[in-house]
């Protein structure tokens, strides 16, 4: 082993090379982010500084070339894997138009410039123009991190990559063959035939092979990840073997596996983590190593070629993005993101430059100009995408939701370790993408009067720990809950009430405890007591193997007050796990249901057919395959849509060994909130629920005093509501201004919405505030009020306080009479004229 004194530049020791690379990949992006530059360009700059032309610490050895090639293919694979196929198929014409524009304008203008202005021959001019007619999605990790992958402009740009890179690489093949004198009819025939066979083989065999592997190999996801990586690089090699380039094979593999790897799954998290933290940074580092700074000092020719290539690239790509914006009415930030994504050159450009150099089509000046252009565009593109992508992300977050699109609070009761991961996955797919709400895994322990209770609680916590680990792997925020209850069903219902749950996801083993019941004691009792949307799941195959969702709707299903939410759930789950939603309407009007599904604006291919109960079972047994997920939209007893068939059908589905979910829509009545009165005290704030000049010792005692004005301590609901307001979730309490806090909850068996207000001159401490709280506001809504209506009422209450100033609250905290308080609300209403929450 050599000593440090034997180290020479460039470094040859593979261990030290790897250590230097990893340090650069870690440190340089952090430094750039400190000065508000995109961290993704850090590895590129590190490669330039450490490369042969500057510090000469690293050289382009075989190992770095390998990792660079792997990273390049991985970027293209991720682009195909994460593209929203529903959006892409819906807007494929847009991708074709943009791809054509962003390819033809640079290709034509570039050919003219390099042929007639710079004097290159036709072969060189066409090849050079094709280098900046294509583009590489170098900033892709940025748009993935910002969560704008499903934006229409982004989908259009990513889809256009298929066209631009394919044509550019075909031009490379044609130019290379023409120089070699092999451009004949046999060449065109063999190239076309091999491409057709290759694409058909990938599209036909790969999905089947993937489903077989995922279904038969289960080891916690390690083999699935290795399988996917192996498939990507084998597809890439096969693409080269048929006469194109490996990047097209990697992109096609991503598109083909798109439906087999759910967006919110452990496998997807591992794929993204491996790419973002390891192989893609090595690709960017390798780009930096290619840059030869000394070329800029070699003479004017290098500058002329580089400036001509860079200006042509940037100018024509901007024109293409601007034209597409005009055609499809994209916003300015969307146009800039399209430009930033499409202006980066790397993959096809590098391949064309190296092949052209080897065949003497281009010389050293062009090769160096290409490398410098790649470096410049890979710095420019991410910077633009970072800046304007944030604007798009902000706009999408501020997009007004329909009231029924409010974020869900999902409860997942767990009892079987074998199904806990699947139920967590279903909850993750059910959860809205922009939701900030947690998912609540729950275990209920039977209450006993012996020492077994403590050991049972420990066992329940171990089950929750398994769910916590799995949720962390798929980046799902959760809040695990353990309850001790005399009855498991009551424990689930009480937990759902206390945490204002909107959806319950529970598993079923397919066995009924008694012939008279649908599922068994616990689930049937829960259905009788809970009015939330409930999904009873029995999945016999991994979620990633489903290709279609088949929904069964009994007659009069749409008479349920929450049918819109049920339809939205069907389309949302289909967008996550399948390619198509097949709706089977039983004994009802097909056109009426078509209207309901069209009203939910989620892009999912939906087909509706009609049948009757007598034919339904035969239809299911002959047409449903193991790649279908059946969802029965059922109804609770004593509701208008209930029929005896709904009691038998889950058993029949289980006998057929089908994967299915029985969805019970929420039975909550849609109750609109009451706007506050324009003058005086709000209508929901009765005088008896106002306590002024309090001297309670703590925030808990303050809330308890206010709560006792409407719900006495002897009321069984008092402690559970107090617990929800004070202990369960600090997020329920919002400090709208320093010293003012609003806490809210929904309460079972509450007859009307209630507001409480207390003032505390000395102030009380709250863990969510750095200073004493002087004004405490509580808002309680009946459990029947929908989440959107409750939140809208909360927004209306907060309106009075959000327009005030600190001095107003100092005055408010000192009031001693109701009349003074009434005048304060009058002033607040005048201070915020025209304020409305109708767009909430």
Predicted confidence (pLDDT) per residue in 124-152, tens digit: 888 888 887 888 778 878 887 787 877 88
Instruction: Evaluate if residue 479 carries a pLDDT over 50.
Output: yes
Whole-number Å distance between alpha carbons of 739 and 828: 17
Burial class from Cβ neighbours inside 10 Å (0-12, 13-18, 19+) for residue 443 reads buried
**pLDDT on residue 87:** 67
Burial class from Cβ neighbours inside 10 Å (0-12, 13-18, 19+) for residue 274 reads middle
CB 287 within 8 A of CB 68: yes
Segment 295-316 mean pLDDT: 79
Mean pLDDT is lowest, of 32-46, 146-160, 241-255, 514-528, for 514-528
Whole-number Å distance between alpha carbons of 661 and 551: 9
Both structure tokens of 786: 């929908």
Residue extents of the structural domains in the chain: 63-397, 402-538, 547-668, 687-831
Whole-number Å distance between alpha carbons of 623 and 619: 6
Segment 588-606 mean pLDDT: 84
**pLDDT on residue 230:** 93
Strand partners, 633: 663
Whole-number Å distance between alpha carbons of 813 and 135: 62
**pLDDT on residue 531:** 84
Q: Which of 141, 133, 140, 131 is nearest to 158 (CA)?
A: 140
Q: Which of 49, 42, 57, 51 is nearest to 290 (CA)?
A: 51
Instruction: Evaluate if residue 399 carries a pLDDT over 60.
Output: no
Instruction: State the maximum Cα–Cα separation within the chain, in Å, rounded to a whole number.
Output: 98
Both structure tokens of 488: 């498991």
Instruction: Evaluate if residue 4 carries a pLDDT over 70.
Output: no
- Mean residue pLDDT of the chain comes to 80
For 108-122, write each residue's pLDDT tens digit: 998 898 888 888 888
C-beta pairs of 514-520 under 8 Å, 24+ apart in sequence: 518/646, 518/647, 518/650, 518/651, 519/650
∠ CA 185-189-193, rounded to 5°: 175
CA distances to 271, 495, 504 from 423, rounded to whole Å, are 22, 17, 10
Segment 737-744 mean pLDDT: 80
**pLDDT on residue 296:** 66
CA distances to 200, 649, 710, 761, 813 from 707, rounded to whole Å, are 68, 46, 6, 19, 19
Mean pLDDT is lowest, of 69-73, 464-468, 710-714, for 464-468
Whole-number Å distance between alpha carbons of 659 and 631: 9
Per-position DSSP letters for 159-193, written without gaps between them: HHHHHHHHHHHHHHHHHHHHHHT--SHHHHHHHHH
**pLDDT on residue 732:** 55
Instruction: Evaluate if residue 306 carries a pLDDT over 60.
Output: yes
∠ CA 499-505-511, rounded to 5°: 135
What is the CATH superfamily name and number for domain 402-538?
A: HUPs (3.40.50.620)
Same fold: 547-668 with 687-831 = no
Instruction: Evaluate if residue 680 carries a pLDDT over 60.
Output: no
Which residues have CB under 8 Å from 662's CB, separation 6+?
508, 535, 536, 631, 632, 634, 650
Higher pLDDT, 456 or 758: 758
63-397 has CATH 1.20.1530.20 classification = yes
Rg of the chain over all Cα atoms, to the nearest angstrom: 31
**pLDDT on residue 23:** 93
Whole-number Å distance between alpha carbons of 136 and 387: 19
**pLDDT on residue 537:** 92
For 149-206, write each residue's pLDDT tens digit: 778 888 888 888 777 877 887 787 788 777 766 667 777 788 788 888 888 988 889 8
Segment 805-822 mean pLDDT: 69
- What totals of helices (H) and strands (E) does the chain contain, helices first? 30, 15
For 256-303, write each residue's pLDDT tens digit: 888 788 777 778 888 888 888 888 888 888 878 877 777 767 667 777
Mean pLDDT is lowest, of 398-412, 603-617, 713-727, for 398-412
**pLDDT on residue 835:** 39
Instruction: Evaluate if residue 663 carries a pLDDT over 90.
Output: yes
Provide the sign of the torsion angle of the four alpha carbons 453, 454, 457, 459, taken in this order.
Answer: negative
Q: How would you list the strands of the sheet with 773-782, edge to edge?
A: 690-691, 754-764, 773-782, 740-747, 733-737
Whole-number Å distance between alpha carbons of 354 and 331: 38
CB 259 within 8 A of CB 80: no
Backbone torsion region of residue 181, taken as left when φ is above 0, otherwise alpha when ψ lies between -120 and 50, otherwise beta: left
Q: Please report which confidence band the pLDDT of residue 407 belongs to, taking 50, 70 and 90 as the band edges.
A: low
Q: Please report which confidence band the pLDDT of residue 836 belongs to, taking 50, 70 and 90 as the band edges.
A: very low
Instruction: Evaluate if residue 405 carries a pLDDT over 50.
Output: no
**Backbone dihedral angles phi then psi of residue 616, each to the nearest 5 degrees:** -60, -50
**Fold (CATH) for 547-668:** Rossmann fold (3.40.50)
Return the percentage of the chain with pLDDT > 90, whole number. Answer: 8
Per-position DSSP letters for 213-281, written without gaps between them: HHHH--STTHHHHHHHHHHHHHHHHHHHHTTS-HHHHHHHHHHHHGGGS-SSSHHHHHHHHHIIIIIHH
With residue 412 as reference, give the H or E element that holds it.
strand 410-413
CA distances to 7, 10, 65, 374 from 51, rounded to whole Å, are 16, 9, 13, 15
Helix (H, G, I), strand (E, B), or coil: what is residue 54? coil
**pLDDT on residue 151:** 83
**pLDDT on residue 517:** 65
Both structure tokens of 562: 């929450």
Both structure tokens of 176: 């290379």
Neighbours of 117 (CB within 10 A): 11
Higher pLDDT, 804 or 228: 228
**pLDDT on residue 406:** 47
Whole-number Å distance between alpha carbons of 362 and 355: 9
Structure letter (DSSP) for residue 485:
E
Q: Please report which confidence band the pLDDT of residue 232 belongs to, taking 50, 70 and 90 as the band edges.
A: very high
For 339-387, write each residue's pLDDT tens digit: 998 888 876 777 777 777 777 888 777 877 777 788 888 888 888 988 8
pTM of the model: 0.62
Whole-number Å distance between alpha carbons of 721 and 781: 11
Instruction: Evaluate if residue 838 carries a pLDDT over 50.
Output: no
Q: Please report which confidence band the pLDDT of residue 839 belongs to, taking 50, 70 and 90 as the band edges.
A: very low
**pLDDT on residue 1:** 47
- Token pair 């090769």 is found at 367
Class of the CATH-defined domain 687-831 = alpha beta
Instruction: Evaluate if residue 217 carries a pLDDT over 80.
Output: no
Q: Please report which confidence band the pLDDT of residue 832 belongs to, taking 50, 70 and 90 as the band edges.
A: very low
Instruction: Name, of 330-339, 798-807, 830-839, the range with top average pLDDT.
Output: 330-339
Provide the sign of the torsion angle of the four alpha carbons 410, 415, 421, 426, taken in this order.
Answer: negative
CA distances to 437, 483, 732, 763 from 778, rounded to whole Å, are 21, 26, 10, 16
**pLDDT on residue 339:** 92
Neighbours of 777 (CB within 10 A): 23
Burial class from Cβ neighbours inside 10 Å (0-12, 13-18, 19+) for residue 126 reads buried
**pLDDT on residue 21:** 92
Helix (H, G, I), strand (E, B), or coil: what is residue 743? strand
Segment 586-606 mean pLDDT: 84
Instruction: Evaluate if residue 800 carries a pLDDT over 50.
Output: yes
Q: Which of 264, 536, 268, 211 is nearest to 425 (CA)?
A: 264
Q: Is the peptide bond before 686 cis (omega within 30 degrees of 0)?
A: no
Whole-number Å distance between alpha carbons of 453 and 442: 16
Q: Which of 362, 373, 248, 251 is nearest to 316 (CA)?
A: 373
DSSP alpha helix (H) spans, 602-677:
613-623, 644-655
């Amino acid at each position: 082993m050599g000593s440090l004194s034997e180290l020479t530049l460039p470094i040859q020791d593979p261990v030290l090379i790897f250590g230097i690379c990893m340090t650069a990949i870690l440190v340089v992006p952090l430094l750039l982010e400190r000065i508000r530059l995109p961290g993704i360009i850090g590895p590129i700059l590190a490669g330039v500084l450490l490369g042969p032309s500057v510090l000469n610490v690293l050289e382009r050895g075989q190992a770095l070339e390998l990792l660079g090639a792997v990273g390049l293919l991985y970027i293209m694979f991720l682009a195909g894997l994460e593209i929203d196929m529903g959006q892409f198929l819906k807007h494929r014409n847009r991708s074709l138009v943009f791809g054509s524009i962003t390819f033809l304008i640079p290709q034509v203008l570039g050919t003219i410039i390099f042929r007639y202005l710079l004097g290159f021959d036709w072969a060189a001019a066409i090849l050079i123009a094709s280098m900046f007619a294509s583009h590489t999605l170098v900033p892709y990790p940025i748009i993935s991190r910002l969560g704008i992958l499903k934006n229409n402009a982004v989908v259009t740009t990513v889809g256009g990559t298929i066209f631009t890179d394919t044509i550019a690489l075909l031009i490379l093949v044609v130019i290379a063959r023409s120089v070699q004198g092999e451009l004949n009819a046999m060449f065109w025939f063999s190239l076309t035939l091999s491409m057709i066979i290759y694409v058909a083989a990938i599209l036909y065999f790969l999905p089947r092979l993937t489903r077989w592997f995922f279904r038969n190999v289960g080891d916690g996801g390690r083999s699935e990840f290795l399988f996917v990586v192996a498939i990507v690089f084998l597809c890439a090699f096969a693409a080269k073997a048929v006469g194109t380039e490996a990047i097209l094979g990697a992109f096609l593999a991503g598109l083909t596996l798109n439906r087999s790897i759910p967006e919110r799954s452990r496998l997807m998290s591992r794929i993204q983590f491996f790419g973002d933290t390891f192989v893609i940074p090595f690709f960017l580092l390798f780009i930096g190593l290619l840059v030869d700074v000394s070329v800029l000092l070699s003479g004017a020719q290098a500058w002329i070629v580089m400036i001509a290539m860079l200006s042509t690239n940037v100018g024509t790509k901007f024109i293409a993005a601007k034209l597409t914006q005009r055609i499809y009415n994209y916003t300015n930030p969307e146009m800039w993101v399209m430009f930033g994504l499409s202006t980066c050159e790397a993959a096809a450009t590098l391949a064309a430059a190296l092949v052209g150099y080897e065949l003497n089509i281009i010389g050293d000046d062009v090769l160096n100009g290409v490398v410098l252009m790649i470096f410049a565009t890979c710095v420019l593109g991410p910077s633009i995408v970072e800046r304007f992508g944030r604007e798009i992300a902000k706009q999408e977050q501020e997009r007004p939701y329909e009231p029924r699109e409010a974020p869900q609070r999902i409860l997942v009761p767990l009892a079987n370790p074998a199904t806990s991961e699947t139920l967590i996955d279903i909850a993750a797919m059910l959860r809205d993408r922009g939701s900030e709400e947690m998912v609540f895994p729950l275990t209920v322990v039977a209450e006993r009067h012996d020492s077994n209770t403590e050991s049972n609680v420990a066992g329940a916590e171990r089950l929750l720990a398994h769910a916590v680990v799995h949720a962390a792997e798929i980046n799902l925020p959760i809040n695990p809950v353990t309850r001790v209850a005399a009855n498991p069903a009551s424990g689930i219902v009480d937990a759902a009430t206390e945490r204002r749950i909107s959806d319950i996801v529970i598993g079923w083993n397919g066995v009924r405890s008694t012939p008279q019941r649908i599922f068994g004691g616990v689930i049937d009792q829960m259905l009788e007591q809970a009015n939330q949307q409930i999904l009873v799941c029995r999945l016999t195959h991994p979620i990633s193997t489903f290709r279609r969702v088949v929904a069964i709707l009994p007659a009069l299903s749409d008479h349920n007050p929450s049918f819109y939410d049920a339809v939205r759930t069907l389309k949302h789950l289909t967008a996550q796990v399948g390619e198509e939603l097949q709706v089977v309407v039983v004994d009802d009007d097909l056109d009426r249901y078509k209207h309901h599904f069209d009203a939910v604006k989620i892009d999912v291919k939906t087909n509706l057919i009609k049948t009757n109960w007598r034919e339904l079972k035969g239809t299911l047994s002959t047409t449903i395959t193991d790649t279908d997920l059946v969802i029965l939209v059922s109804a609770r007893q004593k509701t208008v849509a209930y029929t005896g068939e709904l009691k038998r059908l889950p058993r029949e589905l289980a006998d057929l060994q089908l994967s299915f979910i029985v969805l019970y829509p929420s039975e909550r009545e849609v109750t609109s909130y009451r706007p506050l009165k324009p003058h005086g005290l709000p209508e929901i704030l009765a005088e008896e629920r106002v306590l002024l000049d309090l001297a309670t010792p703590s925030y808990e005692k303050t809330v308890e005093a206010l709560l006792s004005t409407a719900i006495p301590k002897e009321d069984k609901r008092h402690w559970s509501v107090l617990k929800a307001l004070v202990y369960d979730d600090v997020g329920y309490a919002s400090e709208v201004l320093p010293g003012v806090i609003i806490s809210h909850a929904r309460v079972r068996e509450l007859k009307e919405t209630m507001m409480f207000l207390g003032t505390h001159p000395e102030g009380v401490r709250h863990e969510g505030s750095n200073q004493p709280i002087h004004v405490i506001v509580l808002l309680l809504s009946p459990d029947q009020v929908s989440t959107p209506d409750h939140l809208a009422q909360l927004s209306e209450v907060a309106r009075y306080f959000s327009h005030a100033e600190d001095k107003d609250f100092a005055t408010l905290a000192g009031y001693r009479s109701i009349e003074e308080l009434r005048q304060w609300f009058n002033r607040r209403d005048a201070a915020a004229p025209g304020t409305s929450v109708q767009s909430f």
